[in-house]
Amino acid sequence: MLSLPAPVDLSCYIQFVLAAAILYINRIFFKKGVMGIINRAPGMDTLISIGAAAAFLYSTSLIIKNIITTKQFLFEKILSMNNSGSMGHTMYFFESAGMIFTLITLGKMLEANSKAHTMDAINALSKLSLGKVTVLRDGEERTILSEAVRVGDLVYIREGDKIPADGTVTEGFGAVNKAALTGESVPEEVTGSDKVMAGSICVSGFFKFTVDKAGEDTTLSSIIRLVKEAAVKKAPVQLLADRIAGFFVPIVSGISLITFIVWLCMGYPMSDAINFAISVLVISCPCALGLATPAAVMAATGNAAGNNVLIRSSECLETANLIDTVVIDKTGTLTTGIISVTDADACDGTDINEAMLKTLSLEAGSSHPYAEAVRSYALEKFGISKADKTADDIETIPGRGIKGIIDGAEYIIGNQKFLEEKKIEIPADRLEAAEAMMHEGKTVLFMGSSKCELILGLKDTVKPDSLNAIEHFKKIGITPILATGDSDVTAKVMAEELGISEYYGGILPADKHDIIDKLQSEGRKVAMIGDGINDAPALVKADLGIAIGRGSDIAIDSADVILMKDSLSDAAYVIELGKRTLKVIKENLFWAFFYNVIGIPIAAGALFIPFGVKLSPAIAAACMSLSSLFVVTNALRLRKRSL
């Protein structure tokens, strides 16, 4: 390779043996390259294998030709110790055939090392539930590996233990840190009937829990699976790159052949023509092109996982780049979802205790935040823990309220529209009171049968980071829109508080779907952010559905992106990450193509006649590996969170 003088004329034979060994070790490249040609989908392995094979076969043919010409075989040469240099190694390309694979293997090793960093978050998650735990099985305590835990096991958790599965606390008390799963650094207290998740850590206390989900069914395993699937699934822009590569390989092969013919026609030696032709094949190998998108996607999804954001597919990142409008649910998304009753007034002389009992009868089976708030208020203000009996035939009407039968009469609790639909009269003074509450940003509920008997004012608090998230959306050119089932007045107050100019109040779940459909018909790319069952249709309809991780299972299953932390800022982070990812992908594709535009002419010998610059195939292989490494390194910039 360095053109140093050989002590004897055995150099070519030594090179032949060493190069043959390297090619055999790397025979997988030939297998993939040939399969690419057979399947009419030649790729980077095709170029590599053609280049290395051409260098090796041409050099081998020179040895055979020299043996035939001189009629002197290897053993005769050893005996004669001919140092004439007639078989000097400078005309051979064995070193190029060997170095092509050596440098490419080195480059792939460096790429693999770099790409491994993009999966750090997944590796960290995978270790969260590893260890040993104590379980009660068959009436006796056993210490087993966490992987061996089964559904139905009773697990003992002490301070410092990792929780190995999802389950329900049956006995004891403890404080659990879920930071790795939800990003919430403050430990959560758990006791009887509370849920715990695999990957959490007990920081204090002692409790027992029954395993509900184990192994691949746990929340932690679902997170890991989602991140892995997103990392390997091809984005649309990658499919474009693959199609380009399909045309690229035949074109480069044609350029290599033309290069070979031109140099021969110009009267240059066969060795020079072979050198230039092989260099073209090797330097143009589209490794960088193939890495441009997956390296960026892996880095981005690893970044997201490390920030407690789950992205279902790489396509979501590309879609996030296009988003110009976000429709945001109010309760539990913009607000904490921790609702309290601030006002309770009976109508027309109705006994408030009796009205509250009827309200609790209707709300008895509901887990809605409003129902929780009413129960807490009834206990705190009136000492009523529960109704004497539950209403019959209870039915929840999405976006309206609840209806049921109490003592043979139909009662309802819900918003003003619900009562108007049921022809239930609301006194004028109560309507005025409701209007005043709504102007304070409160949600108003009415309860009654033939007439209104109770009016309730409920207040939710805005999440600390909601205002910053809204401001960031606007800063990056995205229009935020508020969509809530609360009244127009309440929606207006909330929108003004957060600086949102466009809002929709008093809407049903189907209305959110229709709003998104309308925005899309205007040419907008819309993201929907929500947390409840009523948001599921809109999450599916939106170009990008983003669910708060603490929301309902249906909402989470309907979304493209899941925010494990209860933070709207993470939604802004996801959209910005999508924009950053597409920017890096475009940069990578540009440099991959630009590299070939510059490299192919140089490899073909464009600088040889004027400046005497000639790239050997081995140097071309080194340049190609460096281009791939550059692309991966550029992609690793996505590991840093910008928000």
- Mind telling me the catalytic residues? 329
DSSP 8-state assignment for residue 451: B
Question: CA 567 to CA 463: how far, in whole Å?
Answer: 8
Question: CA 426 to CA 604: how far, in whole Å?
Answer: 87
Neighbour order of strands in the sheet with 479-483: 309-311, 561-563, 544-548, 526-530, 325-329, 479-483, 502-504
261 CB neighbour count, 10 Å cutoff: 12
334, 371 Cβ separation under 8 angstroms: no
Give the pair of three-digit tokens for residue 178: 């879920």
Residue recorded with tokens 């003003």: 416
CA distances from 207 to 136, 168, 173 (A): 13, 10, 5
> For the stretch 61-86, what's the b/e string if a residue is b when 16 or more beta carbons lie within 10 angstroms of its beta carbon?
ebbeebeeeeebeeeebeeeebeeee
Question: CA 274 to CA 617: how far, in whole Å?
Answer: 10
Long-range CB contacts (< 8 A, 24+ apart) of 261-268?
263/605
> For the stretch 243-257, what's the b/e string if a residue is b when 16 or more beta carbons lie within 10 angstroms of its beta carbon?
eebeebbeebbebbe
| Of 448, 498, 486, 527, nearest in space to 369 by CA | 486
Looking at residue 462, its amino acid is V
DSSP 8-state assignment for residue 640: S
Sign for the pseudo-dihedral over CA of 338, 550, 540, 302 = positive
364, 390 Cβ separation under 8 angstroms: yes
CA distances from 286 to 10, 179, 246, 588, 599 (A): 36, 41, 10, 12, 12
Question: CA 89 to CA 388: how far, in whole Å?
Answer: 101
Question: CA 481 to CA 528: how far, in whole Å?
Answer: 9
What are residue 479's DSSP bridge partners? 325
334, 498 Cβ separation under 8 angstroms: yes
Residues 6+ apart with CB under 8 A from 335: 460, 461, 462, 463, 466
Sign for the pseudo-dihedral over CA of 468, 472, 474, 478 = negative
